[in-house]
A and B are shown apart, each in its own frame.
Chain A
Amino acid sequence: MISLGYLIFLAVITLLYYILPHKFQRPLLLVASLAFIGSLSIPFLLFAVVFSAINYLFGIWINSLKTAPRKKILYFTSVLINIGALIFFKYSNFFIENINLLLRSFSTRESIPLLSVLLPLGISYYTFQCLGYMYRVYKGIEEYEKRIDVFLIYNLFFPKFISGPIEKSNSFLPQLHQKKQWNNEDISAGLHLLLFGFFKKLAIADTLGLIINQVYGNVFEYTGLTLIMTYLLQPFYIYFDFSGYTDIALGSARLLGFKLTDNFNRPFFAENVSAFWRRWHISLTAWCNDFIFMIVMYKRRKWKNWGPAYAVFLTFLIIGIWHGPRWNFIILGLIQALAINYEFFTRRSRIKLAKKLPAGLVLRISRIITFLFFCFSLIYFYAETSAQSTHFVSNLFASLDLDLLISNFRDLVIGAYRKDFFLALIILIIWMILESFQERKVDTFAWFTNLNTWVKWPVYYLLIILMLWLAKGENTFVYQQF
């Protein structure tokens, strides 16, 4: 999506979308989505189409059945197919590797060969969409989708195909049945989102990524201040990369008259871990809240306080596993669950303590602790092996030598990019200051959009110049791999 090709594609589709008669709008979206995925990979396209068609048929089938037990069997079959496909493509080699490890520990020479499977692009996102849809149709909360073209667009809609957002069927499918007309407000919002998305990705994320990727690529070579610098920068890298992608997805959809779920709501201003996860990757956490947490909590309602604790544990374990076949992702999920449960069980005592201190101070300290905790958990996100994460954690304060940091920095960021790094850092600080205004309900964006064109346009040009100046030619997103 970070290419001129994508922008031209989007511009052509948007123009055609509004020029063509209404009856051609949906077919155009479907063709555009198929072309977009097909340009990335034909086998992935075929898989996604077949996968979506199967879910569409299951929706019809479940709805047509009269008796609850048969519906239940069919619903669980659809769940099995969806989760089975995800496990097969995403986790089969992880299981095999661990079985082989177990076999080796018993000194067995036999080992199971790894499967040669490619992870279909976007599978984690559209599988969750299908699972949510099936549940709602099965429970009768939502009417099944009658039109296959609409259902295919729901799953394959090109702006959100690569990395979400994971759209709930009850919010997206009705939008597909509406007649879309050119709307200046939508177009303006869409263009702003596109500009901000590209800016976040190209000007900030890619420059910060130089350090983060280099450190995690050779983590054993670094200690002390270099790791502390990485520790503090890594949340911004992932935030600007993923929220940049999300803005591009939301902006592209908005140009076509669709409102997608925003994945971020100023997460670094969250005052605790629970609040953080209501602001971070919102479409995933909202999905997990609806289809895992609430269901588990309801089923374990007799467990009193342990019910929610168990539900949190299970939800975050699944969020961890969702990220991919790595033990570190499981640890990432579990430490979130531990933190949220800690907050849950110590809430009263913490409130008591907070009352003794000034509210502003409590808020700031809480935000800092939450941020530092997230920094810590990201070690398990970036480090591919437990040896890497253990090295990172155990060497954070190993040698606090400023000269070593300066020397490492010279190695990490080549001469040509050093000024870029500091420029990106300044932009990042300005961006966070603007977010802090938004957090205090000062709508800086609305204020800005109401300004005269002669003020706004130079700002847009400045953003474009900065973005092009800092661009490193990187065109993939971190969350694309999931």
Chain B
Amino acid sequence: MKKALARFALFLLPIIVTAVVLEVVLRNLPHDFKFKKAQMEQKYDEIETLVMGGSHTYYGVDPEQFDSKTFNLAYVSQSLFFDYLLLEKYIDSLPQLKDVVLMIAHASMTYMFSEGEEDWRKFNYYRYYDITPPNNQWYHKYYLEVFNLPVQRSIKKIYQHHLLNKNLVSATSSGWCDEYHMENSLDLEITGKEEADKHDSPSLDFTWNLENLENIIDICAKKGIRVHAINFPTFVSYRENLNPVKYNMVIDTCSWVSREFENVYHLKIDGDPRFTAADFYDGDHLNDAGAMKCSQLVNDYIESIKNNPDSQRDQKSF
């Protein structure tokens, strides 16, 4: 038995050594989470507006277009749950914070932790923000990079960084991702339908995410911070393929919170005719030009609220 075990251990040795080397190399790769966290920590005392949410804000809101000092803390597939945890973690470190922009997309109110292919992303919150996600497997507790992504993707990242000298950080110093360039835009009809199919889960149970939203509103209210629930622009091919009942329920929920809570404002710019096909990268994301337009629009809206807080709390731009 001892001889066989020793032989097996010898067999495993190169695998373990490779895994350790891979882990060290992966940990030293530049990472959006690592970069944005560092950038934000440098601006603690300046940030007045914090943009949160998933890919709509990550690709669609450039803080440089804002009059106030703004930081984009959105990440792809970031749910309201992680918006809340991040805000809870940082709210005390941001003395100037006055406005929080929240992305409320079609999937926001029914999004759960383990959303299949996006499930792996939650470990970035543990790894870089020290936020332990629920359903954390015991062997993920001390989170290892090698277990997070499929091996192929990890090796490709190393290859891109070390051999192709590709920059793995896609965010600017203010947190916006400007990777979706107008000239590379995808087929809006096809991607719109694909993304709608992916996001349109049959669930209509908003309970859990409504609770997260209320938690965000609550901690902001205690600090006198305004919360702007915004439905960001998507292309018509995306909207038309969503469940209309659920779509309206999401909008109604935003309207309801803006009526119910004093510090909440709702803006719907999804379907705004000012956004044309030229502004979209794919069916549900703006390109860099669209992001500029969107950022300026959101900035004007926030400034108008600042000047007149009692103005229309529930605005639909079309």
Residue positions of A touching B, CB distance < 8 A: 3-5, 8, 18, 182, 184, 187, 191, 218, 411, 420, 457, 460-461, 464, 468-473
> How far is B233's CA from A263's CA once the two chains are assembled, in angstroms?
53
**B28-36, B145-153, B236-244, B306-314: which one contacts chain A?**
B145-153
Are the CB atoms of B14 and A461 closer together than 8 Å?
Answer: yes
B142 beta carbon closer than 8 Å to chain A: no
Residue positions of B touching A, CB distance < 8 A: 1, 4, 8, 11, 14-15, 117, 120, 137-139, 147, 150-152, 155, 190, 197
Known: A184-B4, A461-B14. A471 touches B139 (CB 8 A): no
Q: Which residues of A contact B138 (CB under 8 A)?
A: 5
> How far is B137's CA from A187's CA once the two chains are assembled, in angstroms?
28
Closest chain A residue to B14, Cβ basis: A461
Are the CB atoms of B15 and A187 closer together than 8 Å?
Answer: no
Q: Which residues of B contact A184 (CB under 8 A)?
A: 4
> How far is B117's CA from A382's CA once the two chains are assembled, in angstroms?
22
Closest chain A residue to B197, Cβ basis: A218
Closest chain A residue to B147, Cβ basis: A4
Q: Which residues of A contact B152 (CB under 8 A)?
A: 420, 468-471
Are the CB atoms of B11 and A187 closer together than 8 Å?
Answer: no
Known: A460-B11, A471-B151, A473-B120. A4 touches B4 (CB 8 A): no
Q: In the complex, how many angstroms separate the beta carbon of B23 from the nearest chain A beta carbon?
A: 13
> How far is B137's CA from A8's CA once the two chains are assembled, in angstroms?
13
> How far is B8's CA from A473's CA once the two chains are assembled, in angstroms?
26
- The 17 sampled A-B contact pairs (Cβ below 8 Å) are A5-B137, A5-B139, A182-B1, A184-B4, A218-B197, A411-B190, A457-B11, A461-B14, A468-B150, A468-B151, A468-B152, A469-B151, A469-B155, A470-B152, A471-B151, A471-B152, A473-B150
Q: In the complex, how many angstroms separate the beta carbon of A40 from the nearest chain B beta carbon?
A: 13
Q: Which residues of B contact A464 (CB under 8 A)?
A: 15
Closest chain B residue to A11, Cβ basis: B8
Closest chain A residue to B138, Cβ basis: A5
Closest chain B residue to A15, Cβ basis: B5
Are the CB atoms of B139 and A8 closer together than 8 Å?
Answer: yes
Are the CB atoms of B139 and A4 closer together than 8 Å?
Answer: yes
- With A411-B190, A468-B152 already in contact, 8 other A-B pairs whose C-beta atoms are closer than 8 Å: A5-B137, A8-B139, A18-B1, A191-B8, A218-B197, A468-B150, A469-B152, A472-B150
Q: Which residues of B contact A469 (CB under 8 A)?
A: 151-152, 155
> How far is B141's CA from A8's CA once the two chains are assembled, in angstroms?
15
Other-chain residue from B11, B14, B150 in contact with A471 (beta carbon distance below 8 A): B150
Q: Which residues of B contact A3 (CB under 8 A)?
A: 137
Closest chain A residue to B155, Cβ basis: A469
> How far is B16's CA from A464's CA once the two chains are assembled, in angstroms?
12
Closest chain B residue to A182, Cβ basis: B1
Q: Which residues of A contact B139 (CB under 8 A)?
A: 4-5, 8
Q: Which 5 A-B pairs have the closest CB atoms?
A: A468-B151, A182-B1, A469-B152, A5-B139, A473-B150
Q: Which residues of B contact A420 (CB under 8 A)?
A: 152
Q: Which residues of A contact B15 (CB under 8 A)?
A: 461, 464
Closest chain B residue to A221, Cβ basis: B193
Q: Which residues of A contact B117 (CB under 8 A)?
A: 473
Q: In the complex, how many angstroms separate the beta carbon of A448 from the nearest chain B beta carbon?
A: 16
Closest chain B residue to A420, Cβ basis: B152
Which of A4, A468, A470 counts the most B-chain CB atoms under 10 A from its CB? Answer: A468
Q: Which residues of B contact A182 (CB under 8 A)?
A: 1, 4
Q: Which residues of A contact B8 (CB under 8 A)?
A: 191
Closest chain A residue to B120, Cβ basis: A473
Q: In the complex, how many angstroms separate the beta carbon of B183 from the nearest chain A beta carbon?
A: 18
> How far is B11's CA from A461's CA once the two chains are assembled, in angstroms?
9
Q: In the complex, how many angstroms separate the beta carbon of A462 from the nearest chain B beta carbon?
A: 12
Are the CB atoms of B4 and A187 closer together than 8 Å?
Answer: yes
> How far is B1's CA from A426's CA once the two chains are assembled, in angstroms?
38
Closest chain A residue to B5, Cβ basis: A15
> How far is B14's CA from A237's CA once the two chains are assembled, in angstroms?
31
Q: In the complex, how many angstroms separate the beta carbon of A375 from the nearest chain B beta carbon?
A: 27
Q: Which residues of B contact A471 (CB under 8 A)?
A: 150-152
Q: In the complex, how many angstroms separate the beta carbon of A476 from the nearest chain B beta carbon?
A: 11
> How far is B174's CA from A385's CA once the two chains are assembled, in angstroms?
50
Which of A4, A191, A460 counts the most B-chain CB atoms under 10 A from its CB? Answer: A4
Q: Which residues of B contact A411 (CB under 8 A)?
A: 190
Q: In the complex, how many angstroms separate the beta carbon of B187 from the nearest chain A beta carbon?
A: 10
Q: In the complex, how many angstroms separate the beta carbon of A89 from the nearest chain B beta carbon?
A: 22
Q: In the complex, how many angstroms separate the beta carbon of B130 from the nearest chain A beta carbon?
A: 23
> How far is B117's CA from A18's CA once the two chains are assembled, in angstroms?
39
Closest chain B residue to A468, Cβ basis: B151
> How far is B138's CA from A18's CA once the two chains are assembled, in angstroms?
25
Which of B1, B120, B138 counts the most A-chain CB atoms under 10 A from its CB? Answer: B1
Q: In the complex, how many angstroms separate the beta carbon of B70 from the nearest chain A beta carbon?
A: 34
> How far is B190's CA from A8's CA once the two chains are assembled, in angstroms?
43
> How far is B150's CA from A471's CA once the two chains are assembled, in angstroms?
6
Q: Which residues of A contact B4 (CB under 8 A)?
A: 182, 184, 187
Closest chain A residue to B153, Cβ basis: A416
Q: In the complex, how many angstroms separate the beta carbon of A237 from the nearest chain B beta carbon?
A: 19
